[in-house]
A and B are shown apart, each in its own frame.
Chain A
Amino acid sequence: MKLIYSHLKTFLPDLNVKPQKLRDDLTMIGHFCNFYQEIENEIVFDLDIKVNRGDCLGYYGLAKDLSILYNLPLVPATELKYSTSNYSLPIKIETDNVFRIMALKIVHLKNKHSPDWLSKFLKLHGVNSINTLVDLTNYIMFMYGLPSHAFDTAKSGDNLIWQMNPKYTEFKGLDGTILPVDKNILMVNNSNIALGLSFWGGEFCAIDNSTTNIIIEIAVYNPTTVRQNHQQLKVATEAATRLEKLLDPKLIPQAINHLARLITLNCGGEIGSQVFDYYPNPETPSPINFDPKLPSIISGINIPVDFAKEIVSKIGFRKDISLPEDLAEEVIRFYGYDKIPTNQPVSPVKLPDITPPILYLVEKLKDDLVAQGYDEVISWPLVQQPTDPTTVVKTENSINSGYPYLRQSMIQSLQNQLDQYFRYKLPNPKFFEIGKIFSQVDGKYIEKYALGTYDGQKFTETILDDLPKPESYLPKNIDNSAYELTSQIITLDANVNLDSPQDPTTLINHYTSLISPDILWSIEIIDIFENKYTFRVSYYNCDDKTAKKAHLTAFGLI
C-alpha cells in the first residue's frame, strides 16, 4: 500500500520524523517498507501490509500505530453536524452478512472535476481520477481502510436493499463487464434492478457530472462472504482487498462523517436525511486476561510492567487481537524487537534422536556415491509423462500444464538430466539422485524414497523404503558397469607399532594383500603418531565372526 507522508499528518499533525527513520520504524513494527520516493513534491512510502492488519490498509490504522510508537496525539474524531432533516432512508437489510451499514443522503450537489490535491492523491495510489464525488469515496477508503460507495438516487431511487441475490442472473459492473451471479452473491439492489456488489459498484447508478442527489454508504460485511464472492467472480478491487479482512465497524461513523464533510465542502449541497445506521450486533470485546509480565516471559528480556500496561491501554480494542499472546506481541513490538540480544542461541541439550533411519541412509548413500565419482543431481519431481498410467498421481490445477504428473520412477528424472549432460557436452556423465517417487493405489497416496543412478552406460533404481533394514545398506560397484546396494558393513580398527616410519601407501598395499578381496570393503590409515599407525578396515559380504577373524589374522593380532 502507498502512504503519502503529508496526508498521514491529517491524523498525526505533530509527526516530524525523517522519512528514512519513518521507513525503518514502520518496518520494525511490522509494516515492511521497501522504499520511499519523492514524487511530485510528495514523499511516498511503499508498504507491505500483512493480512491480519486490515485496519492498516488505511492511513488511520497506521497513524494509530505510529501515535503509540512516537507517543503523539491522534486527531480526535469530529462530530458530524447532521442536518435537521427528519427524512429517514427507506433502506432494507435482508441478510445477516451485513455487520454494519451507515448511510446518508446528500442533495442539491454540483459534481465536477476533482481538485488537484485529490486527483494527485489518487494518482499516487495508482487510481484514476473520475470526478469529485467518486474520488472522495476512494479517498475515504484509503484514509480509513473502509470502502465507501455513492449511489446516484436519480437512477437508483432511495429504496436500497442489501440482500443475497434473489433472482438476478447477471450483474453489470462499473466498467461495463457483465458477470454471471448466483444466489451466493451479496448484492445491493432496489426492487427490480441489480445495483451493486458488496465490493464493486454497478454501472446502472454510477455517479457522473450530472448527479445532484446521492446516498453515500460505508459498510462492513462478513469477510468470508466477500472473499468467496470476489473469488467466485474473479474480480479483485481495492474494496474487496479490504472487505475480506477484519475491519472495525466502530470506525464507520468517523469515516462517513469525514466523507460527508468533504462532499459538502467540495460539491456544495446539504444533508438530506437522517443518518441510517444498521448495527444489529454491536460487538462487545471479550475481556482478555492479560498478565503484564507475559511480554517479558515471551521475549526473554525484561520489559517493564508499566510499559506493558501503558501500551495495552493505548491499543484498546482491535479486531485481530483475541489472546494474551496477541497483546504481548503488541507490547514487544513497541518496546523494540531490536532490544532482544542476538547472541544467545538455545543451549545444547542431549535429546533422544528422532531422525527417521531412512534419512541416515540417504546421507550415507550420498557420501559413498560421491566417493565413487558420482555427481548428485536434483531434478523436478513433476514430469511430462506417466510411467504407469494406472497408479500415477496427477496434479489438478498446476499452471505448468506441461508437467502434470508426479514422477513414479527416479529414472524418468535422470533421463532428463542425461539429455542435459549431452546438450552441454559434458564428458563422462555419472550421476545419481535420491528423492521421492509417488503413486496411488486404491485412493491412497504412496511416496517412497528412491535412489536412481546413471553410471555412464545404464540406469538403475533402488526403492529405499522397500529395503528390509534401511540403516544397514551401502552402495557397491559391481563389474564396473552396474551398481547395487549391499548389506551390512563391519568396521574394525587396528593399531600397528613399527620400528621406523614407513610409506603409508606401501603399508596399505601390504595389508590389503593380506585380506581377501571378497570381503574387503575399504582400508585406510586414520591416525599416525610417531611410529604408531591406526588402520580402519571395513568388511562386507560376511558375518561379524569372519570379519573379526580376517582382521586379527591380517594384522597379526592372534
Chain B
Amino acid sequence: MDLNQVKTEINNCQSGTDLENIRIKYLGRTGLINQEFSKIKSASDPKQFGQQLNQLKTDVENLIFEKSKTVSSEIKNLKLEIKNSNFCLPKIGHLHPLSITERQLNEVFRKLGFSVYNSPEIVTDEYNFQRLNVPKDHPARDMQDTIYIQQPEYLLRTQTSTIEAYLLKNHQPPIRAAFPGSVYRNEKVNRSNHFVFHQYQAVVVDKNITMKDLIGTMDLMFKTLYGPEVVVRYRCKYYPEVEPGVGPDMQCFNCHGKGCPLCKYAGWIEMGGAGMIHPKVLEMANIDPRVYSGFAFGMGLDRWTMAEKYITDIRTLMGGNLAYKPNKL
C-alpha cells in the first residue's frame, strides 16, 4: 500500500462524510491496514513488517486528523451561516441548577395534587422549634446551629419544617403541599458547608394517611431524581416533629453498597428525614390527630445538585462562577 496514494485520496476529499469513508476504508476493523496485519505471519521478517505497518497506520491517522480540522471548520462555517439566517433560535439563558431540580420535583408533586408553598425566612422561635415539638432547652436544639436576628426570639429558619408549621396553622386538612426553600445554619463557609442551603419538603395531612403512603411517595421522589434503578432503604430515625420517624438512605452510587470513602464506608448515603407528623404538632395547629394523620419528608437539594452537575464546591453553586454552565447544562 502506498502512503502517497492515501495522501492524495485524503487531500481530494471534500466533506466530513468523505473523510469518514476514507477512515473506514483504511483504519476500519476490516479496513486495508488491518487486512495487511493479517499477513504478518507469512511475512519473511514479521518484526520489520509489523513496524512498517504500525508506522503506516500512525501516518494515516495523522493525515486524517489534520484533514479533519479543515473539514470540520467548513462544517463550523456552515453552522455560522445558519446562525445568521432567520431560522436560528436566539441564545437562551439557563435556569440555575437548583431551580431545575426544584421544578423536576414540583412537577411530580403537582400531578399528585400538591400545591407549592412558602413562608417567611425570618421567623420566631415558636415556628422554628416549639410548633415542631422542640420545647425550649430540649437537646434536639443542638441538632441545628441557629443564626439569630434578635436572641432568643427572632431567627433565620433552620429547616423547611418551619414552612410546615405555617402551612398547618394556616390551612385545614386535607392538605397537600410541597416546598423548596432556603434555610440557614450557623456554619463556617467552606467547600462543603454553607450558612445558606436549600431543602425540599412535602407534607400531606388527610384521613387515613399511613407510613405506606409516606414511603411510597418518597420513593417516587427518589426515582424521579435518580432514575428507576435507585435503591433506597427506609429505617427508623428520630426527629422531634414526627412519630414514627423515618430515615431514607440511598445505596451509594459509587460502590453499590460495598463501602467506599464517598459514603464513609457505610455503603449508604443519608438522604434526609421523614415521618408521620407528631400528634402534638397537629394538635398545636388545631388539627385533631384522632381524625387526621399526615406525613412529612424533607431532603437537601444542594448536595444532590452538586453531584449531578459535577460541582465540587458549594460556594460555586451560590457564588456566580457559572463557568460550568456552557458545558454541562
Please list the residues of chain A having a beta carbon within 8 angstroms of any beta carbon in chain B: 27-30, 32-35, 50-53, 223-224, 227-228, 244-245, 297-301, 323, 325-326, 328-329, 332-333, 337-338, 340-351, 353-356, 359, 363, 366, 369-382, 393-400, 403, 406, 416-421, 423-424, 426, 430-431, 435-436, 438, 445, 447, 505, 509
12 additional A-B pairs beyond A340-B212, A345-B217, A346-B209, beta carbons within 8 Å, are A29-B236, A30-B236, A333-B244, A342-B215, A346-B176, A347-B112, A356-B118, A363-B103, A376-B96, A395-B156, A396-B148, A423-B321
Q: Which of A337, A351, A400, A403 contacts B246 (CB 8 A)?
A: A337
- Given A378-B98, A436-B121, do A323 and B243 touch, yes or no (CB 8 Å)? yes
Q: Is B227 engaged at the interface, CB distance under 8 Å to the other chain?
A: no
**Beta-carbon contacts under 8 Å, B170-213 to A:** 171, 174-177, 182, 186-189, 195-196, 204, 209-213
Q: Tell me whether A355 and B149 are in contact in the complex, defined as CB-CB below 8 angstroms, given that A29-B236, A370-B93 are known contacts.
A: no
The answer on a CB contact under 8 Å between A379 and B319 is yes
Partner of A299, one of B112, B121, B212: B212
Bound-state CA distance A423–B321 (Å) is 9
> Judging by beta carbons under 8 Å apart, are B213 and A355 in contact?
no
Chain B: interface residue total (CB-CB under 8 A): 90
Q: Which among B98, B196, B215, B266 has the highest number of chain A CB atoms within 10 Å?
A: B215
A351 touches B115 (CB 8 A): yes
Report the nearest B residue to A299, measured CB to CB: B211
* Cβ contacts A to B, 24 pairs, < 8 Å: A34-B264, A34-B265, A35-B264, A52-B140, A244-B139, A323-B243, A328-B243, A329-B243, A332-B244, A342-B215, A344-B212, A345-B217, A346-B112, A351-B174, A354-B177, A359-B117, A372-B93, A375-B93, A377-B96, A380-B318, A416-B320, A418-B320, A445-B122, A505-B86
Q: Which of chain B's residues have a CB closer than 8 A to the CB of A244?
A: 139
Distance between B317 CB and nearest chain A CB, rounded to angstroms: 7
The 5 closest A-B CB pairs, nearest first, are A300-B210, A300-B212, A420-B320, A329-B244, A417-B320
- The answer for the CA separation of A298 and B294 in the assembled complex, in Å, is 10
- Residues of A with C-beta under 8 A to B237: 30, 32, 50
Q: Please, how many angstroms separate the alpha-carbon atoms of A340 and B211 in the complex?
A: 8
With A300-B211, A394-B149, A505-B86 as known contacts, state yes or no: A329 contacts B320, CB within 8 Å. Answer: no
Q: Is B92 a contact partner of A371 (Cβ separation < 8 A)?
A: yes
User: Is there an interface contact between B151 and A397, defined as CB atoms closer than 8 Å?
Assistant: yes
Instruction: Mark out the residues of chain B between 198 and 243 whose CB falls within 8 Å of any chain A CB in the assembled complex.
Output: 204, 209-213, 215-217, 219-220, 232-238, 240, 243
Among A223, A245, A337, A355, point to the contact of B115 (Cβ < 8 A).
Answer: A355
Q: How far does the alpha carbon of A372 sit from the alpha carbon of B91 in the complex, in Å?
A: 8
Q: Which residues from chain B sit less than 8 Å from chain A, CB to CB?
A: 86-87, 90-96, 98-99, 103, 111-113, 115-118, 120-122, 137, 139-140, 142-143, 146-151, 154, 156, 171, 174-177, 182, 186-189, 195-196, 204, 209-213, 215-217, 219-220, 232-238, 240, 243-247, 249, 259, 264-266, 268, 270, 276, 278-279, 293, 317-323, 325
CA distance A301 to B211 in the complex (A): 9
Does the CB pair B149–A396 fall under 8 Å?
yes
Docked Cα-Cα span, A344 to B140, in Å, equals: 32
Q: Do B244 and A298 touch (CB < 8 A)? A: yes
Are A51 and B323 in contact (CB-based, < 8 A)? no
Q: Which single residue of chain B is at the shortest CB-CB distance from A377?
A: B320
Closest to B170 in A: A354
B residues in contact with A323, CB < 8 Å? 243, 279
Is the pair B142, A381 in contact by a Cβ cutoff of 8 Å? no
Query: Known: A366-B99, A370-B92, A376-B94. Contact between A51 and B143, CB under 8 A?
Result: yes
- Cα A300 to Cα B245 with chains together (Å): 15
* Contact of B147 (CB < 8 Å), options: A50, A341, A395, A421: A395
Which residues of A have CB within 8 Å of B86? 505, 509
**Are B209's CB and A51's CB within 8 A?**
no
By a CB distance below 8 angstroms, the chain A residues around B323 are: 424, 426
Determine the distance from Cα of A397 to Cα of B185 in the docked complex, in whole angstroms. Answer: 11
Q: How far is the CB of A353 from chain B (nearest CB, A)?
A: 5
Q: Kindly list chain B residues whose C-beta atoms are within 8 Å of the C-beta of A424.
A: 321, 323
Cα A372 to Cα B94 in complex, Å, equals 10
* CB atoms of B238 and A50 under 8 A apart: yes
B96 and A345 within 8 A (CB): no
B275 CB to nearest A CB, Å: 9
Cβ A298 vs Cβ B293 within 8 A: yes
Min CB–CB distance A457 → chain B (angstroms): 16
Of A344, A435, A436, most buried by chain B (CB within 10 Å of CB) is: A344
Across the interface, do A325 and B243 meet the contact criterion of CB distance under 8 Å?
yes
Is B186's CB under 8 angstroms from A380's CB?
no
B187, A399: Cβ atoms under 8 Å? yes
Q: Select from chain B the residue with minimum beta-carbon distance to A381.
A: B196
Q: Which of B174, B220, B232, B240 contacts A349 (CB 8 A)?
A: B174
Residues of B within 8 A of A372 (CB): 92-93
Q: How far is the CB of B109 from chain A (nearest CB, A)?
A: 10
Q: Is B235 in contact with A27, judged by CB distance below 8 angstroms?
A: yes
> What residues on B are CB-neighbors of A297 within 8 Å?
210
**B219 adjacent to A342 (CB under 8 Å):** yes
In the complex, what's the smallest C-beta–C-beta distance from A512 to chain B, in angstroms? 11
B131 to chain A, nearest CB (A): 17
- Given that A224-B137, A341-B215 are known contacts, is A375 also in contact with B94, CB under 8 Å in the complex? yes
A342 touching B232 by the CB < 8 A rule?
yes
Query: Which of A51, A348, A354, A430 is close to B142, meaning CB atoms less than 8 Å apart?
Result: A51
Question: What are the residues of chain A within 8 A of B319 when measuring CB–CB?
Answer: 379-380, 420
Beta-carbon contact of A299 and B195 below 8 Å? no
Kindly provide the distance from the CB of B20 to the nearest chain A CB, expressed in whole angstroms: 31
Q: What CA separation (Å) do A337 and B111 show in the bound complex?
A: 27
CB distance from B135 to the nearest CB of A (A): 10
Given A51-B139, A325-B279, A345-B112: A355 and B117 interface contact (C-beta under 8 Å): yes
Tell me which residues across on chain A come within 8 A of B243, comparing CB atoms. Answer: 323, 325-326, 328-329
Known: A52-B238, A325-B243. A396 touches B112 (CB 8 A): no
Known: A355-B116, A371-B92, A380-B318. A346 touches B217 (CB 8 A): yes
Given contacts A329-B245, A397-B186, A445-B149, contact A350 B115 (CB under 8 A): no
| Chain A hits for B96, CB < 8 A | 375-378
Q: How far is the CA of A460 from the CA of B268 in the complex (A)?
A: 46
A399 & B188 in contact (Cβ 8 Å cutoff): yes
Tell me the complex Cα distance, A423–B322, Å: 11
Q: Which of A228, A301, A340, A417 is packed against the most chain B CB atoms within 10 Å?
A: A340
On whether the beta carbons of B220 and A28 are closer than 8 Å, the reply is no
Tell me the nearest residue of chain B to A330, going by C-beta: B244
B266 touches A34 (CB 8 A): yes
> In the complex, which of the residues A51, A337, A436, A509 contacts B238, with contact meaning CB atoms closer than 8 Å?
A51
| B268 neighbours in A (Cβ, 8 Å) | 27
Chain B residues near A344 (CB, 8 Å)?
Answer: 212-213, 216
Q: Inside 8 A of B235's CB, which chain A residues have their CB?
A: 27-30, 32, 337
Q: Which residue of the partner chain B has the closest CB to A372?
A: B93
Residue of B nearest to A296 (CB): B210
B94 and A337 contact, CB distance less than 8 A = no
Are B219 and A343 in contact, with the CB atoms below 8 A? yes
A325 interface neighbour in B148, B278, B325, Cβ under 8 Å: B278
CB within 8 A of A370: which of B95, B175, B215? Answer: B95
Contact A378 B122 (CB under 8 A): no
Whether A345 contacts B216 by the Cβ 8 Å rule is yes
Cβ–Cβ < 8 Å partners of B196 in chain A: 380-382
Q: Is the CB of B216 within 8 A of A343?
A: yes
The chain A residue with its CB closest to the CB of B202 is A346
Chain B residues with Cβ below 8 Å from A370 are 92-95
Report B-chain residues with C-beta under 8 Å of the C-beta of A228: 137
Task: Decide if A421 touches B320 in the complex (CB within 8 Å).
Answer: yes
Report Cα–Cα, A351/B92, bound state, in Å: 35
List chain A residues, Cβ under 8 A from B246: 337
Query: Are A345 and B213 within 8 A (Cβ)?
Result: yes
Shortest CB-to-CB span from B154 to chain A, Å, is: 7
Residues of A within 8 A of B249 (CB): 27
Knowing A300-B212, A346-B209 touch, does A379 contact B195 (C-beta < 8 A)? no
